[in-house]
A and B are shown apart, each in its own frame.
Chain A
Amino acid sequence: MSSFAAEYDVPIPYMQRTRDYYLALGYAAYRWAHFVDVPFTPLRKPLNRARLGLITTAAPFQPEAGDQGPGAPYNAAAKFYQTYSLSTESVPDLRISHVGYDRLHTSAKDINTYFPLARLREAVAAGRIGELAPRFHGAPTNRSHRETAERDLPELLRRCQDDAVDAVLLVPS
């Protein structure tokens, strides 16, 4: 029988850590949205005949927005508040300095750890996926649930419908 794991060797309780951290700094607790019911749509065709969409929270590099390089401090100036779309034929320069990734234990030096376009193209070439949608979409990381619900969700849905995708892969960074 394998040995027991260390007490702390579990998925990090991010909500508890974040709540405690900001309370210690003197801020009110952030409330994460949650729901009782979860919608579910089966994949209606084999993946090797399906068109797959991709949604990311990474941000296009903005030359005027300060340090967005690997290991840059949290950079709110690099945030974006409107959905964007770029060609999946391109090689976009996307950064994650605007979100709270683990700056101590990882560096964001390799875009492929948070944006799988290169791996997806390989999967299409290998016949695993039918095709990629012609563009991928960037979802704003807005703390306001209301703004997300009223503006971003309908916009992302409309763009995915325009792309006629069968399924979507979502990758938060």
Chain B
Amino acid sequence: MGLVARHLEANGIATVIMGCAKDIVERCGVPRFLFSDFPLGNSVGRPFDVESQRQTLELALQVLETAPAPRTTVQSPQRWNEDAAWKRDYNDLSKLSPEKIAERRAEFEVVRAVARSKRESV
């Protein structure tokens, strides 16, 4: 998505990204970014919480309107959970035995093969 924002912007269209992967979006280098420190999949706010989603969108619109320069990131003040322990779990290797790792690899090989055949059928 960072590449898309950059391409639109280079061709005269203002953009703003809403997202949860701060390091990935900022590494790419994008004009405007509203970051929510939520689990991936919640770029627009909390599930079944219209007010959370409304506030998240409003912040993104303000970033679109007021960012003074590229690489502007604003972080939403909303918090997923008082306890931040959820942040330790994503791709956490420490919880995986060698057997489990072999299992994940076998699963990923299947995923890769499916993606490849789908891509080649386009």
Contacts and interface: CB of A to CB of B under 8 A. Distances in A.
Contacts of B2: 33
Interface string B18-51: 1101111101111100010111111111111010
Interface string B97-113: 00001001100100110
A165 interface: yes
Q: What's the interface size class on B, roughly?
A: 35 or more
Q: What's the interface size class on A, roughly?
A: 35 or more
Contacts, number: 235
Contacts of A94: none
B40 A100 contact: yes
Contacts of B88: 8
Interface of A: 5-6, 8-18, 20-21, 24-27, 32-44, 47, 53, 55, 57, 74, 76-77, 79, 81-82, 96, 100-102, 104-110, 112-116, 119-120, 122-123, 128-129, 139, 142, 145, 148-149, 152-154, 156-157, 160-161, 165-173
Interface of B: 1-19, 21-25, 27-31, 35, 37-48, 50, 53-54, 57-58, 60-61, 64-65, 69-71, 80, 84-93, 96, 101, 104-105, 108, 111-112, 114-115, 118-119, 122
